[in-house]
Amino acid sequence: MKNATHAQSAPSQPAAQAGDAATDAVASAAAITADPRWAALCARDPAAEGRFVYAVRSTGIYCRPGCPSRRPKPENVQFFADGEAAAAAGFRPCRRCRPEEAPLAQRQAAVVADLCRFIEAAETPPTLAQLAARAGLSPHHLHRLFQAHTGLTPGAYAKARRAERLRQNLAAGQGVTEAAYGAGYNASSRLYSEARRVLGMTPGRFRQGGAAEEIRFAVAQTSLGALLAARSARGLCAILLGDDPLALVADLQARFPKARLIGSGPEEEGQTAGAAGSADFAAWVAQVVGLVEAPRLGLALPLDLQGTAFQRRVWQALQAIPPGETRSYTEIARDLGLPKAVRAVAAACAANPLAVAVPCHRVVRSDGSLAGYRWGLERKAALQQRERQQAENPAASAAPPRPRPGTKAAP
């Protein structure tokens, strides 16, 4: 009787095993749902492509994170770093999402990279139809895909590469006609119609290193140290910051090695020759100094920005950042539609020739810390602090000091 009672109270072995299995399933499900990869799986997040795959034990199949198939039960899911690991564990690739193939974004990037090389190697810019046929896509789809990856349309990319080849050919000493045809310009009339936009001057003058180009400059003292402002016939072409005025002038000479540099300063005021031009430029310099002291005032002067198509896009993005705010290099790259171009964005910031007017000091690392600044991290920190204070107290920027520019003649 005693044994019978014990037998009735003790659970059967199969029931005990079932209970243990249920407990394990609950624990497994809890562990899976706590994994960040589960959230990416549920959201079918395209950004998770290439980071992992998931396998379903009940079907023996592994999938991409963005697979459109029905969501599996978490207790049946197992994550793997890649498809090879899942296959080694005995799982088969899904026939819907094809996880054994390269991710879609990677395949698209390869297509765009091939088209870029095709454009660069072509003697004349290929048409959109030719590019679409090469990629095996419709012209509309190709146009959108190319712009999403490069930030430029195929036509704009071709023009930018052609202009870059023209600069290289002219800088190498080729004649204007030879450089033009070598770069892909099939008519000299087209070259000269675009020269001002792509070179900032005529092709002949660019070939001579800016010879005969007149650039007026002045050096002023600001709360951040010495400031050099320079103006070409098209607008401000340089705003440089530093400690040594002579070093700033040397920097300007290196940028325009054959241009005629004209120093401007107070002692020219009152002179008959060039007095009007000097006084006009003094007002420009005063505005630039005022911008340094009170960035919220802005700058109502034309800018002569010379750079590649990508650099100009980055500089335009910098000018859109309001005073008192910052953006990370990653955010700018993402806003340009080029999330992987973070280093290229940083390089464009470093190449910026117009300090403060093109506010590369408003760009920081993703964690908010200061990154490199060609005019010194202390100045970058000071500019950011000044802008934050003036954003909190706009009245503080109502009447900034504007010291008169001092003359520093070119050595």
**360 an active-site residue?**
yes
Residues 60 and 37 in one domain: yes
Residues 78 and 132 in one domain: no
CATH number at residue 43: 3.40.10.10
Residues 110 and 152 in one domain: yes
Number of Cβ atoms within 10 Å of the Cβ of 2:
6
Note whether residue 204 is domain-resident: yes
pLDDT at 48 over 50: yes
Provide the β-strand partners of residue 93. Answer: 62
Note whether residue 7 is domain-resident: no
Listed residues 52, 74, 93: the one ending a domain: 93
Place of tokens 């999403």: 148
Distance CA 239, CA 357 (A): 8
Residues 118 and 83 in one domain: no
- Domain holding 146, by residue range, is 104-208
pLDDT value at residue 23: 53
**Digit-coded pLDDT (tens) for 322-342:** 888 999 999 998 888 888 888
> Which candidate in 67, 237, 349, 360 is catalytic?
360
Note whether residue 335 is domain-resident: yes
Query: Is 336 within 8 Å of 345 (Cβ atoms)?
Result: yes
Helix H or strand E segment including 219: strand 214-222
pLDDT value at residue 358: 93
pLDDT value at residue 410: 36
- Split into its structural domains, the chain has a count of 4
**349 an active-site residue?**
no
Q: How confident is the model at residue 369 (pLDDT cuts 50, 70, 90)?
A: confident
Residues 204 and 220 in one domain: no
pLDDT value at residue 185: 59
Residues 77 and 108 in one domain: no
pLDDT value at residue 147: 82
> Which candidate in 63, 94, 97, 116 is catalytic?
63
pLDDT value at residue 175: 58
Note whether residue 114 is domain-resident: yes
Distance CA 310, CA 160 (A): 9
**Digit-coded pLDDT (tens) for 352-365:** 999 999 999 999 98
CATH number at residue 144: 1.10.10.60
Note whether residue 182 is domain-resident: yes
Residues 109 and 196 in one domain: yes
Distance CA 29, CA 402 (A): 67
